[in-house]
Amino acid sequence: MSVKLSSRQVGDVTVIDAAGRITLGEGSSSFRDTVRDHIAKGNKKLLINLAEVSYIDSSGIGELVTAFTTVTNNGGQLKLLNLTHRVQDLLQITKLYTVFEVFSDEAVGVRSFA
């Protein structure tokens, strides 16, 4: 299964719920397009909910990083929510835990943008 993405607004924060696999090909391009669409609409506070993401490869990690830099360069913020232990492992291995703000509680994550 490739990735399924849906977006919802919580105040002025856009929560993107992702489910499935973010891998090279359709999965990573869908994620990239979704983030770009939000930036184009002026939604610059993005909280990516990865609770239902079973698998991310290096291409998917690359898309997370690119999304982070794109949002940041546009004056916004991108943070992560609800990492599975496998995704946590990947962020540890790649040292990206030093880059991303990560939350396990959505309300706390949303408030952090204020």
Partner 1 sequence: MPSNRSGENRSVETVLDSTLDSVDTAEQIVLRAATDSGFGEDELHKIGVAIREAMVNAVVHGNRYSAHKKVRLAVSEAPDRLTIRIQDEGEGFDVASLPDPLAAENLLRQSGRGILLIRAFVDEFHVRHLESGGTELSLVLYRTRSS
Interacting residues with partner 1 (CB under 8 A):
23-25, 55, 57-59, 61-63, 65-66, 68-69, 86, 90, 93-96, 98-99
Q: Return the H-helix or E-strand segment holding 78.
A: strand 77-81
CB of 106 to partner 1, least distance (A): 25
Least Å distance between CB 8 and partner 1?
A: 27
List, in order, residues 6 or more apart from 102 with CB less than 8 Å away: 79, 80, 81, 83, 91
Q: Which is nearer to partner 1, 58 or 74 (CB)?
A: 58
